[in-house]
Amino acid sequence: MNAFAQAQVMSHDGMGASRLILEVRDLNVWFGQDGDSRRHVVKGVDLELYAGQCIALVGESGSGKSVTARSLIGLAGAGSRVEAANLTFEGETLLGRSDRWWRHVRGSKIGLILQDALVSLDPLRPVGKEIDEALWLHRWGDRASRREKILKILGQVGVPEPALRAKQRSGELSGGLRQRALIAAAIALHPNVVIADEPTTALDVTVQAQVLGVLKQMLARGTSIILISHDLAVVSKLADIIYVMRGGSIVEAGPRDRVLNRPRHRYTQQLIDAVPSEHTKGTRLSADGGVLRPGLFSQSRGRSSNNRVPLLDARNIVKTFRSPDGIRRTVVKGVSFTLARGETLGIVGESGSGKSTLARVALSLETPDSGEVRFEGRIWTGAVPAEQRQIRKRISVVYQDPLSSFDPRWRVSRILTDAITLANPSRAQDARQYAAALLEAVGLEPVHLDRWPLQMSGGQRQRVAIARAIATEPEIIILDEAVSALDVSVQAQILDLLTDLQAQLGISYLFISHDLGVIHHMSDRVLVMKDGKAVEQGTADQVFYHPKHAYTQSLLASLPRLEYAQLRMAASAR
Amino acid sequence: MTASVTGQARAASERQRSIFKVPLSVALSVLVALFFVAAAITPAALSTHSPFDTDLLSSLTPPASDHLLGTDDIGRDLYSRIIWGTRQSLLIGLGAMAVALTSATVLGFAAALAPRWIAEPIDRILEILLAFPTLLLALLFVALLGPSATSLLFSVGIGTAPGYARLIRAQTLKVKSSGYVEAAWALGHPGHTIFRQHIAPNAFRPLVALFALGIGQSVVWASGLSFLGLGVAPPSPEWGALLEAGKANITVAWWLEIFPGVAIVFVALSFTQIGRYIQDRLEGTLHQ
Amino acid sequence: MKRIAMTARATSKVAAIVLLAGWAPLPAFATGSADQDQRVDGGTITYVHQQEPPCLWGGWVQQAYLARQVFDYLVSYDNGQIRPWLATDWSQSSDRKTITFHLRKDVVFTDGTKFDADAVIANYPVWEKGIGWHGFTYMQGFTKVDDFTVELHLSEPNPEIYNVLANGHYGFQSPTSIARNTSEQKCLAPVGTGPWRVEKWTRGAGISFVRNDAYNWAPPNAHHNGRAYAQRLEWRFVPDATTRWGALVSGEADVAYQPPSVQWKNAQRQFQTLSFVATGRPQGLSFNVSRGPFTDQRVRQAFVDAVDRKKIVQAVFKGTVPFEGNGSLSKTTPLYLNVDDNYPFDPAKANKLLDEAGWTARDANGYRAKDGKTLEARLPFNQAIIDAEGAVALQVIQDQVKNVGIKVDLIPLTQTEGFAGAYSKPGDKEISFGYWVWPSPNILDIVYNHQLKGQPNGNNTTFFNNPEIEEQIIDAQREPDPKSRQQKFNTLQQWFTDQAVAVGVYNFTYNVAIAKNLKGLWQDQGNGLLNFYDAYFVKE
Amino acid sequence: MPVISSGLDMVPADDVQPRSSSNLTRRILRRLGATLFVLWGTVTITFLVLSILPGDRATILLNIRSGQAIERTPEELAPINAAYGFDQPIAVQYIRYVSGLLHGDLGASYELQRPVLNIISEQIAPTFTLAIAALVLAWIFTIPWTLLTAGRGARLGAFGSAAETILAGLPQYWVGILLLIVFAIWLNWFPVIGGTGLVNTVLPTVTLAVPLAGFIGQSIRSEFDRAMREPFVLSARARGMSAAGVRARHVLRHALIPGITLSGWAIGHLLSGTVLVEAVFARPGLGAVLVNAVNTKDFALVSGILILNSFLYVLINFIVDLIYLVVDPRLRDKA
């Protein structure tokens, strides 16, 4: 594996071999006591970081990438044991250092940026204080000079009105500003190395682009960055060298372009293939998928109705909430859409755009203030409860967090049989067999029937949620950020599963996501929402390739695309 | 009691153990609780003397082999009195919690689920009752019903009910707005099914732990009322009454004051510990 | 007079001698007067008492304890003799129903008002209103003869009226205060002529008294005249006996009321002690003779035979209170008859009597039964009147009668229930337990008269209704010849004992322990009221 | 107690408009209204309950005045009933009392023969001092204990938590008796007789504070453990802050929040505790007065103390809300 080293040095932007800042050889990290409960989470990792370089650790959850990075600042975590053949930072070993020594290094020489500044900055304190703390801890300057410095750093990371923002808490700042403040706190003392652990995850694309910009500037100023991410697209924007991790080991390492374009390891290839985008439309993202047994659904039901009437027809939906302080906020402002049989309508928008509320209205879980939703031409919103329930059985929903949508007291079998018997009481007798069949359809095994959802992985849970959704033989499934919390390879499997189900059962999807790639991959038509309004609607290709609205354009411009994919497309076009 | 019922997170390590591996403290608590439950069911089997037989010749004898925990001022065996007092003390604890949780459940559900015109007044009444000192509510009930085990039971139950009702209300609201309740609505279940299948059982879930936690606290409350002279009729060896009686002799017979207090603390502790453990297991398996 | 909601206790060795003599022939001084040379003028006496009454003055004995410090009385009761106090001398009409008192002319209330006949007359309505049992004294009112002479009118001759007038409740408040002060002021700080006046009463904590520097009209049985020796008197309320004992031991208190029984021997060794056996009815068992099993004299007697009263009192109270066999009068009451040797512990006899009475069957729990009914007695007791040790004594009684097959249900009453008169009807209980502090043998008239002004007499806890005996009681009360009067009361006491209508268990006793450096404290021989006026510190 | 929001979770915070001052006024008015409602409810419930309690007030008064426990004749009762208005219909008594309240008259205690206001103003200081001192002391116990034992591994945490459980389970009066016996009577370090001085307040304060410290400790420990797992802890450590520094400067503040909630509740309910503690230590205070007033059905006094208690409860919870805003500024944004 050490063969990578040469390639890395050579690849370095042609700037010539700069100084080696950090060298890691055979890093191993264990958690827990000796014995059964001990877990080996980082296995023989080698890393090198040169001045001004950005290296990226890429992998899915549980790959050990975060633990690796945190070991480098002596914060692998409680109950951890860190060993390495060599762990050298700027010529000094990091092994066997006292806490006092570490405290001196942290913040001043190595900085750490975490995901989600809302909780990574103390939510009870103004961000200025957090930055001040970094300075104060290292005895930097006096009160007045620190204050000046704080404003300067905030300015540096692109925070407008720094004096005002410094007095606000992370919760009072927008996602982009607070993430920048978090960066400011980490780089206040200009550390040579900054470890950025998923720095843009969970951010809206436009904000993500801004934060990546800040990191780029840091690189330009000569700071070295260790970027940790599950998102190849983000990595492709920033990294010089990519290390792909899986199960605690590095499976592949090399210069960015080489790794992305000519991955040598099968896993790297899988990761790349799994990223949905406009280019993957109509292709399978994952290697495996569910097997649908023919005859799982009774095909008789309701299919004969008039195809000219949209299955779901929402007209001029307006929804307002009153908050406890009496302020009324209009969350959905006159949105209309239709959903035809067998079609996928993607609803895309950033957080707070009203897309989830719209979904709840479509499901008649919220009553709109004005406007109406028709199901097969019948007005649904405001129907009597019994009638509403009949229609609800024909519409299913899958949420972002499947776990919270399962009663914690129920095993998988109960979750599924509950839905099965509700839709079709005559199945009460063989509900369990049917549940097993459903599990197989979504790529799980009958043994999972007796599991608690809590004991399952995120992907398995989402499969159970989908199994429940199809258990009622619905005509529509509303997928509300259904794949957003999943690792990319799991996401790929689920998306493939959804595609298969649609192909075989003719289900319509109302697909809600903030992820433009996923939306483009899945949708026939797309609705773009901003601030409760539908700013653009059209076929997926229209919207993505020829956006009319400025907002859509800015969204697409901010979207980090996987560079390699463009290369591949270009190659195939030639 | 609010603290004990809101405080939930225990050491994570405890959660990860298997069902059969119980922490030592919990195992001990279960043993202690079983001992007292056994004492409540068959006191005769565990006691060494009659709890009521007086022996004026051996009054105030210190703990020794013939009287394990010594005797009181009229020669009754303290150990046997504590054993026989268990039934009443535990019954008061259990009964008080039953009363508290029953009334709290009705009020809590109503305040969380009933239409606004019912829920709002209930909520207000709970607020008023919450401002009442618990002991005062209990005092009024004893005044109303006269001092007896039953009125202790009811007064402690009623006295602590408003706090529990607010908790159940909060829990119900939480469950009501949970993902799985919404999922059940979305599936097309009718409201009564959702209440039966999801809201009631899940809102009740923390009550299991609360019940165990509350038993200990109720025993303490009830003994406090006994201490104020509002307890059960003599010669009942209810623990609070033992403490109250022991006070007069404490300068020469420490055992009369120490051991009944230790019994109360043991019961409170063991039930609390068990309640916590149940709570952890429920929370641990259900909400990791 | 009247029952006292407080603790009953014991008697010192000195008091035991007193008891043998029937009623106190000797002053129960804490010390002699040999220490007078060592006397320290001034200082603060701290006394820890148990119960806190609602107001300083009233008809409750707890109020007499306090009132005695701020009021003076027409006469003083001095070990069987009546001595002058605010009245210099008095005479009695031939029908013994009018008494003429001549008043001192030099007495001034602490608010400057002069004490005279008008003051006496102004106080009478206050007594009538504020003392619940006033009617039993047979007083009907005062009339003014001249500025310093009054006549007291009685409805019945009452040889013990002087004991009543000396007993702590019948002190005089300033007429100015009566007329002008608010009820709050009269409650917290009534204005008297006594050796102390109230400086401040902090509820729940105590009362601060300061001495009345103008005081110069002490009764002849006081040890000195003039102002009190000590400068201040801190009267603290500490309900718990152990705490009071601790306060005395630690030196925080100079005088402690009712030390714990278990410490009484220590108290006698390490400190000075005073004991006073209250007059009136002792703590005793009164059987319901109007309905239920105790209408049968044999059952009553069997109950008493089955109980080892002497030993119970000794074991529970450890010498702080004496055994009392007489259920009608206590050892210190005038005309008392000692019946302590009646009904010795005899369970065999009890069983025999119960067999004779037909209670031969047994119920499931082994108690005696007749006609399917268990021999069961409800015994409610007011926890404000029967203290913890009294309750313990009842538990031993309960255990002992169980051995002869009688079931006793002890029913503790809350203060509310007790004072609201719960369990006071004939159908409510089979046995009553309680006492009544009263200075004269006419207590029999109070507790055995079945009617009061045409209504059932609430004080008749035995629900006794025997016009013949009632007649005899009134006759004994009216008997002018002391010897015959004694004879008549003896007969009555013996009759009630033989009939076992009511039997005694122990005497209500007022015990205090006193620090060694405090001398001169004495107990009034009517109610046991502490007299701090003569108390003084000595150099140690 | 924290309000559980329902149904509004999906509303994005970014849409919040600045709060107008009329909103603030409205909130204050609503709060005032709610307070008055609670006070009125307290008075009414107390009045009703004391009215239906068995026991005739005039009988109780007569018996207490004479130390007897007997039934009274109508002739004896009539003047008392007339003097205190007990012969009026309940509704009339109620209206009379409430209209008195509206004129600021709390009435008079019929048993103690004193205006309720005078009794309360005499007794409030010792009780309030005791309650506040106990609360402060409980916090003084709790904070170092939490810092020492919470979030430092399962074993230490279990030990710390066990200690808190024991403290929380101790019967207050029992602790009080033992403290009194040991420290006042045996060791003589503190005065035996209750009083309101500083030294007299030490043992009662400790007695009240011990179980309270257990409760507060339990509630802040779980929050402390939770906050220790928050990412901002890692951020702060990565900035170079020591573990102890993070615990004291960041995590503790988060952990305080449930403890503050509990403190607000506890202050309102410390009156229950003071009843017992005042009884053990023979200390003056509202607790003892209240128990006695209930026993004698002294409505005006019970009601007056409860009004005060409810008022303090509301006031203290208002203060607690203000403290929340200091400790958790996030709440300033919300309603």
Amino acid identity, residue C467?
Answer: P
Distance from the Cα of D101 to chain A's closest Cα (Å) equals: 32
Least confident residue range of A366-375, C130-139, C403-412, D269-278: D269-278
The sheet with strand A378-379 has its strands ordered as A328-339, A312-322, A370-375, A378-379
A31-35, A124-128, C356-360, range with the lowest pLDDT: A31-35
Subunits in contact with chain D (3 or more CB pairs closer than 8 Å): A, B, C
Residue reference for tokens 């105790």: C294
Q: Are residues A58 and A202 in the same domain?
A: yes
Task: Work out how many CB contacts closer than 8 A connect B with C.
Answer: 81
Please answer whether residues B204 and B279 qualify as being in contact, where contact means their C-beta atoms are separated by less than 8 angstroms: no
pLDDT class for C120, splitting at 50, 70, 90? very high
The answer to whether B250 contacts chain C (CB < 8 Å) is yes
Which residues of chain D does B177 touch, with a Cβ-Cβ cutoff of 8 Å?
A: 6-7, 9
Residues A251 and A140 in one domain: no
| Chains A and D lie in contact, requiring 3 or more CB pairs less than 8 Å apart | yes
pLDDT at position A162 is 87
A300, part of any domain: no
Q: Report the amino acid identity of residue C230.
A: A
Q: Taking the C-alpha atoms of B225, B228, B230 and B236 in order, what is their torsion angle to the nearest 10 degrees?
A: 80
Nearest to A352 by CA among A178, A211, A205, A514: A514
Contacts of residues D262-265 at CB distance under 8 Å and 24 or more positions apart, as own/partner, are D262/B2, D262/B3, D262/B6, D262/D215, D262/D216, D262/D219, D263/D135, D263/D139, D263/D216, D263/D320, D264/D316, D264/D317, D264/D319, D264/D320, D265/B2, D265/B130, D265/D1
Q: Tokens standing for C68?
A: 């005695």
CA dihedral sign, ordered A348, A354, A357, A363: negative
Q: Among the CATH numbers 3.10.105.10, 3.30.70.100, 3.40.190.10, 3.40.50.300, which is that of C280-507? A: 3.10.105.10
pLDDT in tens, C298-320: 999 999 999 999 999 999 998 99
Q: Select from C45, C52, C185, C203 the residue whose CB has the most chain D CBs within 10 Å, as the one to mutate to test that interface.
A: C203
d(CA C238, CA C47): 10
Put simply, the answer to whether D231 touches A115 (Cβ < 8 Å) is: yes
CA distance C220 to C493: 34
What is the rounded distance in angstroms from the CA atom of residue B270 to the CA atom of residue B277? 10
End-to-end CA distance of chain C: 39
Q: Where residue A251 sits, what CATH number does that domain have?
A: 3.40.50.300
B210: pLDDT strictly greater than 80: no
pLDDT at residue B187 tops 60: yes
Chain B interface, mutation test: which of D35, D42, D165, D257, most B Cβ atoms within 10 Å? Answer: D165
* pLDDT given for residue A296 in this prediction: 63
**Residue A154, domain extent:** 118-190
Nearest in space to C332 (alpha carbons), one of C1, C3, C64, C20: C20
Query: Is the Cβ–Cβ distance between B243 and B257 less than 8 Å?
Result: yes
Q: For residue D284, with 0-12 CB atoms within 10 Å meaning exposed, 13-18 middle and 19 or more buried, which class applies?
A: buried
Q: How far is B153 from chain A (nearest CA, A)?
A: 32
Q: How confident is the model at residue A189 (pLDDT cuts 50, 70, 90)?
A: confident
Cα torsion B154, B156, B162, B165: sign: negative
C27 touches chain D (CB under 8 A): no
Residues of chain D contacting B10 with CB distance shorter than 8 Å:
161, 222
- Helix residue ranges per DSSP H, A116-231: 117-120, 127-137, 143-156, 162-166, 175-187, 205-220
Name every residue whose Cβ is closer than 8 Å to that of residue B286 and which is 6 or more positions away in sequence.
Answer: A408, A409, A454, B205
Of A106, A169, A171, the CB nearest to D238: A106
Q: Which of A472-481, B199-208, D15-24, D89-98 has the lowest mean pLDDT?
A: D15-24
Residues 6+ apart with CB under 8 A from B202: A407, A408, A409, B171, B175, B178
- Taking the CA of residue B16 and the nearest CA in chain D, the distance in Å comes to 12
Which residue shows structure tokens 């719960």? C422
> Looking at the complex, does the CB of residue B180 fall below 8 Å from at least one CB of chain A?
yes
DSSP letter assigned to residue A402: G
What integer is the mean pLDDT of D284-310? 85
Choose, out of A360, A392, A405, the residue to mutate when testing the contact with B (most B CBs < 10 Å): A405
Residues C65-82 have a mean pLDDT of 91
| Bridge partners, residue A113, by sequence | A196
B131 touches chain A (CB under 8 A): no
* Chain C residues close to D53, C-beta within 8 Å: 416
**pLDDT tier for residue D81 given thresholds of 50, 70 and 90:** confident
- Mark yes or no for CB contact D330/A325 under 8 Å: no
The ipTM of this complex is 0.81
pLDDT at residue number C295: 95
Cβ(D132)–Cβ(B239) below 8 Å: no
Which residues between 226 and 265 in chain C have a beta carbon less than 8 angstroms from any beta carbon of chain B?
A: 240-242, 245, 260-263
Per-residue pLDDT tens digits for B4-37? 332 333 333 334 444 456 778 788 889 999 999 9
Retrieve residue A535's tokens. Answer: 């700013």
Rounded mean pLDDT of chain C?
A: 88
Tokens 């003097």 -> residue: D83
Tell me which range, A137-141, A358-362, C77-81, C204-208, is most confidently predicted by mean pLDDT: C204-208
Instruction: Among D157, D174, D219, select the one facing B11 at the smallest CB separation.
Output: D157
Name every chain D residue with its beta carbon within 8 A of the beta carbon of A184: none
User: How many Cα atoms occupy the beta-carbon half-sphere of C339 within 13 Å?
Assistant: 27
Q: pLDDT tier at C521 (50, 70, 90 boundaries)?
A: very high
Quote the minimal CA–CA distance from B235 to chain C in Å: 6
Measured between beta carbons, which residues in chain A are less than 8 angstroms from residue D251? none
Contact C392 B233 (CB under 8 A): no
A137 and A255 part of one domain: no
Q: Where would I find the H helices in A442-536?
A: 458-471, 488-505, 516-522
Which of B180, B188, B201 minimises the CB distance to A392?
Answer: B188
Task: Establish if B17 touches chain A: CB-CB under 8 angstroms.
Answer: no
B20 assigned to some structural domain: no
Identify from A80, A102, A116, A122 which residue to disrupt to test chain D contact, counting D C-beta atoms within 10 A and taking the largest count: A122
CA distances to A184, A471, C471 from A288, rounded to whole Å, are 43, 22, 114
C2 pLDDT band, cuts 50/70/90, is: very low
Beta-carbon neighbour count of residue A88 at 10 Å?
A: 16
Overall average pLDDT of the D210-231 stretch: 87
Question: How high does pLDDT run on average in chain A?
Answer: 83
Give chain A positions within 8 Å (CB) of D232.
119-123
- State the Cα torsion A404-A406-A409-A412 to the nearest 10°: -140
Domain boundaries, chain C: 3-277+510-538, 280-507
Does residue A70 surpass a pLDDT of 70? yes
Shortest alpha-carbon distance between residue B261 and chain D (Å): 7
- Do residue B233 and residue C260 have CB atoms under 8 angstroms apart? no
**According to the model, what pLDDT value does residue A306 have?**
55
Strands (E), C336-485: 361-362, 368-370, 373-374, 376-382, 407-413, 431-437, 451-452, 455-456
Could you tell me which chains touch chain A, where touching means 3 or more CB pairs under 8 A? B, D
User: Averaged over A2-13, what is the pLDDT?
Assistant: 43
- φ, ψ for residue C144, nearest 5 deg: -85, 130
Residue D24's pLDDT band, with cuts at 50, 70 and 90, is low
In a domain? residue A561: no
> In sequence order, which residues have a C-beta less than 8 Å from that of residue C176 and are 6 or more positions away?
C109, C111, C113, C191
Q: What pTM was computed for the model? A: 0.82
Number of CB atoms found within 10 A of residue C365's CB? 10
Query: What is the Cα–Cα distance from C169 to C55, expressed in whole angstroms?
Result: 12
Tally Cβ neighbours within 10 Å of residue B34: 11
What strands, in cross-sheet order, belong to the sheet with C280-287?
A: C431-437, C280-287, C502-506
For residue A566, give the nearest of A286, A233, A255 by alpha carbon: A233
Given a cut of 80, is residue C535 above it in pLDDT? Answer: yes
The confidence score (pLDDT) of residue A75 equals: 87
Query: Which residue of C314, C383, C398 is in closest CB contact with B229?
Result: C383
pLDDT of residue C8: 34
Measured distance CA(B59)–CA(B78) in Å, rounded: 11
* CATH code of B278's domain: 1.10.3720.10
Q: What gap in Å lies between CA D138 and CA A395, rounded to an integer? A: 55
Q: Which of C474, C440, C129, C448 is nearest to C456 (CA)?
A: C448
Do the chains contact at D238 and A111, CB–CB below 8 Å? yes
Smallest CA–CA distance, residue B183 to chain A, in Å, is 6
* A390/A475 Cα distance (integer angstroms): 12
Cα(B77)–Cα(C486) distance, integer angstroms: 48
What is the mean predicted confidence (pLDDT) over C18-24? 34
Mutate to test the interface with D, among A327, A357, A366 (most CBs of D within 10 A): A327
- Distance from the C380 Cα atom to the nearest Cα atom in chain B, whole angstroms: 10
Q: In chain D, whose CA is at the least distance from the CA of A69?
A: D238
C-alpha Rg value of chain D to the nearest Å: 25
**What is the mean predicted confidence (pLDDT) over A360-389?**
84
Which chain A residues are Cβ-neighbours of B205 within 8 angstroms?
409
pLDDT for A10 equals 42
The residue with tokens 């913890």 is C388
Question: Looking at chain C, which subunits does it touch, using at least 3 CB pairs closer than 8 Å as the criterion?
Answer: B, D
User: Hey, what are B238's tokens?
Assistant: 């209810």
- How does pLDDT run across A394-440, given as a tens digit for each residue? 888 998 888 888 988 888 999 999 999 988 888 888 889 989 988 88
Q: Does domain D119-333 have CATH number 1.10.3720.10?
A: yes
- Select the residue from D239, D249, D254 to test the A interface by mutation, using most A Cβ atoms within 10 A: D239
Domain layout of chain D by residue ranges: 119-333
* Secondary structure, 3-state, D202-215: HHHHHHHHHHHHHH
d(CA A473, CA A507): 9
- C137 lies within 8 A of chain B by CB: no
pLDDT band for position D3 (50/70/90)? very low
Any chains having at least 3 CB pairs less than 8 A from chain B are A, C, D
Token duo for residue A514: 């903030």
Q: Do B135 and D271 touch (CB under 8 A)?
A: yes
pLDDT score of C519 = 92
Is pLDDT at D8 greater than 60 in this prediction? no
Preceding peptide of B234 cis, ω within 30°: no
SS3 call for A527: strand
Give the residue among C49, C47, C41, C69 at the shortest CA–CA distance from C537: C41
What average pLDDT does the structure give for chain B?
A: 81
Partners of B175 on chain A (C-beta within 8 Å) are: none
Burial readout B42-63 (b: 16 or more C-beta within 10 A, e: otherwise): ebeebbebebbebbbeebbbeb
Distance CA B135, CA D268 (A): 12
Mean pLDDT on C214-226 = 93
For residue range B38-94, list pLDDT tens digits in order.
999 998 888 888 888 888 888 888 998 888 898 988 889 999 999 999 988 888 888
Q: Which of D37, D174, D271 to mutate to test the interface with B (most CBs of B within 10 A)?
A: D174
User: Does the beta carbon of C424 lie under 8 angstroms from any beta carbon of chain D?
Assistant: yes
The verdict on residue B239 lying in a domain is yes
pLDDT digits (tens, 9 = 90+) for A261-310: 888 998 888 888 888 876 677 777 776 654 555 556 655 444 445 566 78
Shortest Cα distance from D329 to chain C (angstroms)?
43
Q: What Cα–Cα distance (Å) separates residue A563 from each residue in A238, A536, A560, A566, B181? A: 11, 27, 8, 5, 43
Q: Residue C51 has which token pair?
A: 């119960």
The last residue of one of the domains, among A238, A273, A308, is: A273
Interface of C with D in 449-478 (CB under 8 A): 452-453, 455-456, 458-459
Instruction: List CB contacts (< 8 A) between D275 and chain B.
Output: 133, 135, 228
pLDDT of residue A45: 92
| Chain B contact present for D162, CB below 8 A | yes
Query: Does the structural domain C3-277+510-538 have CATH classification 3.40.190.10?
Result: yes
